[in-house]
Amino acid sequence: MQQNVDNLRHSAAHLLAAAVMQLWPGTLRAIGPAIEDGFYFDFEFETPISETDLPVIEKKMHELVSSWQSFERFELSKEEALEEYKDNPYKQELIEEFSKEGQSLTVYQSGDYRDLCRGGHIDHPSKELKHFKLLSIAGAYWRGSEKNNMLTRIYGTCFPTKDELQKYLIRIEEAKKRDHKILGPKLDLFTFSDKVGKGLPLWTPRGTLIRNLLDDFVWELRRTIGYAKVEIPHITKKDLYETSGHWEKFKEELFRITTREGHEFAMKPMNCPHHTQIFDRKPHSYREMPQRYATTTMVYRDEQSGELAGLSRVRCITQDDAHVFCRESQVEHEALAIWDIIEAFYRGTGFPQLSYRLSLHDPDHFEKYLGTREVWANAESQLRNMLTERGVAYVEAVGEAAFYGPKIDFISKDSLGRQWQVATIQIDRNMPERFNLSCINEQGEHERVVMIHAAIMGSIERFMSILIEHFAGAFPLWLAPVQVAVVPVGNNFDDLSQEVHLALRQEGMRSELDVSNKTLSAKIRDWTLQKVPYLCIIGGKEQEKRSTDGTLYVSIRTREGKDLGMVPLSEFMNKLRIAIEKKSI
């Protein structure tokens, strides 16, 4: 099924290029693959085009496709191919490369349009290729390398039916409205500064509050089962990563530092090696095992500027990281305890349904991994047993393991149906080997320990991006940075409103008082746009109640615009308290 859709989309990419070449014949074509949810094609235009040109191209595509009966395959010799693309250095580069790899060179033709292509098309373009849409234009380096020319990439999508296309377009329209890159600053959750740099978010009071609430939630779940917080610096001598294997593996992505004395340091890209050094500070008796260390801390990766995107891809990643150092006999119990934390955490943050993936090593590329095949086989079957024991459905994904061990990945589904890999449990017998970590067992012997990697959110930045889009900024009460806005209907109710506001604060509610000079309707609109769960409106009726029986009353309006009528403040606060305690969504 996916293959059919991929063929459809790849065919649409041909059609896009055909239209472009008719409209701007001097254009140079590069490549045009199918991708998740669509396709793209990269071009070198003689003069730049813009998004306003997309409808013109689309129209031309519809025109051309009527004459496309099929995709006809031709095999060319290297010389023929080089001749056919003599004016196109991109194609020439591909031809040289394919020839070197011993691949046959093929072009595919439909209508008047020919293109160098390995194949993978639909059979009847004029009939099948109807429901497409061009979406956007972006710059993209040839072959993804900043050393090469910047090309113009046109993105589009295509579906077998009109209905599917429509649904997809509505979904991306909705996703755009929820885009955390727009909503985040609008709700004043984070900001970026040109002086600080790309990929380095600055967290405002409201954003920091949510981050900390999430992190405290994780910590509460961990604390009760015996985790301890530890603290580590953000840099280390190169030596630590030479021992761990990260230096060899991730050299390119490390921020490297040469000190004034000429020593080589790196900013940490992960925390496990630091935690090993805390574990290894002294001998541990079997009685003290497991040792469970948690640190919420930033790690750093030297990502390329072009790959940075809002909070989804950043240079500083806050991890709610934890590592359990335990005996072989304790692995399953510890791993299942982490599993419980994960389920509880995602339930409390609005993702009650997780799905599961067992990420295995790729036996054909064993050189990418640390350790022996035997260690891997054991660790993988251990995880498989746990999945079976829990009785959950899961998929196995070859080649998705970490380089030091297999893992169970937990995948959430957001309100738009998009899937996100969130938490992960990794069993690691390689780091303990490399760092020579052991405990003293009942016989007084050194016994190799196992390390379990157990981040719950993984990256708080990325989780925040998912959360913002999942709720479209309308966070559940317990996470809302402002829970209640107290709004007087006019200045003469400012004092009473202040009284209500302070009563709410006294109860630990995050209340804001709005005594600005705006009109009531402007106030209501603004707080609603800020997605504040409840508005307490204070006016004559509430004033009267206060004067007659001394009770504080408030009229409640929700962010969805629902009028809940006038209730005693104490009753309202009680309702809030319960919803917060229960982490109601």
Binding site for a copy of itself (CB under 8 A): 146, 185, 188, 191, 193-197, 200-205, 207-209, 211-212, 228-237, 239-240, 243, 252, 255-257, 259-261, 263, 265, 267, 273-274, 277-278, 280-282, 287, 293, 298, 300, 302, 304-305, 315-316, 318, 516
Which positions ≥6 away from 71 have C-beta within 8 Å?
A: 11, 14, 108, 109, 110, 119, 121, 122, 123, 125
Q: Does residue 272 carry a catalytic annotation?
A: yes
- Tell me the Ramachandran region of residue 410: left when phi exceeds 0, alpha when psi lies from -120 to 50, beta otherwise: beta
In whole angstroms, the minimum distance from the beta carbon of 265 to a copy of itself comes to 7
Give the β-pairing of 72-76 and 34-35.
Answer: unpaired
Nearer to a copy of itself, 265 or 356 (CB): 265
Q: Which of 65, 80, 77 is nearest to 126 (CA)?
A: 65
CB of 502 to a copy of itself, least distance (A): 13
Going by the DSSP 8-state scheme, the letter that residue 53 receives in this structure is: G
> One of 301, 357, 470, 559 is an active-site residue; which one?
301
Reply yes or no on whether 158 is catalytic: no
Give me the least distance between CB of 397 and a copy of itself, in Å please.
Answer: 29
* CA distances (Å), origin 455, targets 47, 284, 295, 501: 48, 24, 10, 38
Q: Which is nearer to a copy of itself, 120 or 306 (CB)?
A: 306
Residue of 115, 321, 409, 514 marked catalytic = 321
Q: How is residue 224 written in tokens?
A: 């009760």
Which residue out of 9, 222, 319, 501 is catalytically annotated?
319
DSSP code at position 552: -
Which residue of the set 9, 180, 407, 531 is catalytic?
407
Cα distance between residue 45 and residue 27, in whole Å: 5
List of residues 6+ apart from 187 with CB closer than 8 A: 206, 468, 473, 481, 530, 531
CA angle in degrees (0–180, nearest 5) for 581-413-393: 100
- Residue 457 buriedness (CB in 10 A; 0-12 / 13-18 / 19+): buried
Please identify, using beta-carbon distances, which residue of 318 and 530 lies nearer to a copy of itself.
318
Residue 75 or residue 231: which is nearer to a copy of itself going by CB? Answer: 231
When the beta carbons of 304 and 378 are compared against a copy of itself, the nearer one is 304
Please pick, among 272, 326, 439, 536, the residue that the annotation labels catalytic. 272
SS3 category, 68: coil
Nearer to a copy of itself, 119 or 490 (CB): 490
Q: How far is the CB of 388 from a copy of itself (least distance, A)?
A: 34
| Minimum gap (Å) between residue 204 Cβ and a copy of itself | 6
List residues bridging with 31 in a β-sheet.
none
DSSP code for 273? H
Known catalytic residue: 323? yes
Q: Cβ 413 to a copy of itself, closest distance in Å?
A: 28
User: Among the options 323, 357, 429, 501, which is catalytic?
Assistant: 323
Distance from C-alpha of 408 to C-alpha of 360, rounded to nearest angstrom: 9
296 half-sphere exposure, CB direction, 13 A CA radius:
16
453 belongs to the catalytic site? yes
Nearer to a copy of itself by C-beta: 146 or 374? 146
Q: Could you tell me the smallest distance in angstroms from the CB atom of residue 194 to a copy of itself?
A: 7
Overall size of the chain counted in residues: 585
Angle between helices 373-390 and 331-348 (to 10 degrees): 50
Q: Does the bond joining 290 to the residue before it have cis omega, within 30 degrees of 0?
A: yes
Non-local (6+) Cβ contacts of 53 within 8 A are none
String of DSSP letters for 398-427: ET-SBTTB-EEEEEEE-TTS-EEEEEEEEE
319 is annotated as an active-site residue: yes
Which H or E run includes 16?
Answer: helix 2-23
Q: Which is catalytic among the residues 180, 222, 361, 453?
A: 453
Minimum CB separation of residue 252 from a copy of itself in Å reads 7
Nearer to a copy of itself, 267 or 466 (CB): 267
Report, in Å, the least distance between residue 59 CB and a copy of itself.
Answer: 39
62 is catalytic: no
Q: Which is nearer to a copy of itself, 47 or 517 (CB)?
A: 517
Buried b (16+ CB within 10 A) or exposed e, 393-419: ebeeeeebbbebbbbbbbbbebeeeee
Tokens describing residue 216: 């405290």
Coil, strand, or helix at residue 287? helix
CB nearer a copy of itself, residue 351 or residue 463: 463
Closest separation between CB of residue 571 and a copy of itself, Å?
27
The residues annotated as belonging to the active site are: 272, 301, 319, 321, 323, 407, 453
